[in-house]
Amino acid sequence: MIDVLLPMLATPGTHVPPGDDWRHEVKWDGVRALATIDGAVTLASRNGNRITAAWPELVTAPTGLADTVLDGEIIALNERGIPDFRVLAERMHVRNTATVARLAQRIPATYMVFDVLRLRGEDLCGLPLEERRRRLADLDLSTSGWQVPPEYDDGAMLLEATRTQGLEGIVSKRIDSTYRPGERSHHWLKFAHRHRGTFVVGGWRPQTGSSDRLAAVLVGEVTPDGLRYRGRVGSGIGPKQSRSLTDALAPLGRVGSPFADEVPRADAEGTFWVDPVVVIDVDTHGLGYERLRQPSYQGMRSDVSVDDLADDLADNPGGH
């Protein structure tokens, strides 16, 4: 059995690097996953949790591969044909076999493979990206339904093209970069068009006139000074999202706010506090503000924990 590895992570970039030393890929709005092929296929999330049961359509092993580990992103398309994490969010937390099978038919996922860490027993992590991508291109993944997305020489062109097409952004990678499992590297740079952040839920508020219908959550950002309050998020929480959040938050009730700073009275009144465990994605307008501007709920992140956010902060103290 192959040990479960953690994926290498990219650092937020300030400008797309030019030149022949870099290659550029589409940044997929999905769920990062490592696929281990060792007789069967095992899928593991960004934090090492096994998520195979949620994606039955992705567990057909490619022909001729064994003792192999691949890195990629699980994606699903929205009604406009664009990869969208919100479409995946409905499937991420489901484990009932019948429900999973039904969702796999209605919301089929694709595994976009962009790196190979181990190939038929050979550890490739110490090889440069250029060689790993060459090995990956030689594989036949057609029997699994997986895909190998292209890479591009012109990062500026790709950034503009993804912006025009409504995609999330791009990732730029040095062609000589080795694969460093579990580390965040400046040899991989990410550029996102949308301002999306990952936050921790510290409380919830019911719908006006109701005592139990969740209508909004209070979220905070992991900082060196603790969980700092960033605002209330209600947009994007419809009946289905409300039920999922209610199920996740119900056992986490507590007395008193979990935030390190004071929550404004208007937000605190009527709020049910919870232990800061549940992690969600939020889209917002603008960056660098004390409070989120026009935030919109995007989904729960079972693949990211509060500890992961703290680790990311330690590795990248200047970014979110």
| pLDDT beyond 90 at 86 | no
At residue 288, the pLDDT reads 62
> Would you say 32 and 46 are in contact if contact means Cβ atoms under 8 Å apart?
yes
Q: Which CATH class is domain 9-189?
A: alpha beta
For residue 186, the SS3 value is strand
The pLDDT assigned to 94 comes to 83
pLDDT at residue 31 in the model: 93
The phi, psi pair for 123, rounded to 5°, reads: -75, 120
Rounded to two decimals, what is the model's pTM?
0.73
pLDDT exceeds 80 at position 316: no
Residues of the chain with CATH 2.40.50.140: 196-315
What is the H or E stretch that residue 242 is in? helix 239-249
Per the prediction, the chain carries an average pLDDT of: 91
E strands present in the chain: 9-12, 22-27, 31-38, 40-45, 68-75, 110-119, 122-123, 169-174, 184-192, 196-206, 214-223, 226-233, 272-273, 279-283, 296-300
Q: Is the pLDDT of residue 320 over 50?
A: no
User: For position 312, what pLDDT does the model report?
Assistant: 79
Q: 196-315 architecture in CATH? A: Beta Barrel (2.40)
pLDDT confidence tier of residue 84, bands split at 50, 70 and 90:
confident
Residue extent(s) of CATH 3.30.470.30 domains in the chain: 9-189
Q: Is the pLDDT of residue 289 over 70?
A: no
> What pLDDT digit, counting tens, does each position of 91-132 carry?
887 888 999 999 999 989 999 999 999 999 999 999 999 999
Is the four-CA dihedral 269, 275, 276, 280 of positive or negative sign?
negative
Looking at residues 76-96, what average pLDDT do you find?
A: 84
* Reported confidence tier of residue 170, pLDDT bands at 50, 70, 90: very high
Active site residue ranges: 27
For the stretch 208-266, pLDDT in tens is 877 789 999 999 999 999 999 999 999 999 999 999 999 999 999 999 999 999 999 99
Give tens-digit pLDDT for 18-65. 999 999 999 998 999 999 999 899 999 998 999 999 999 999 999 889
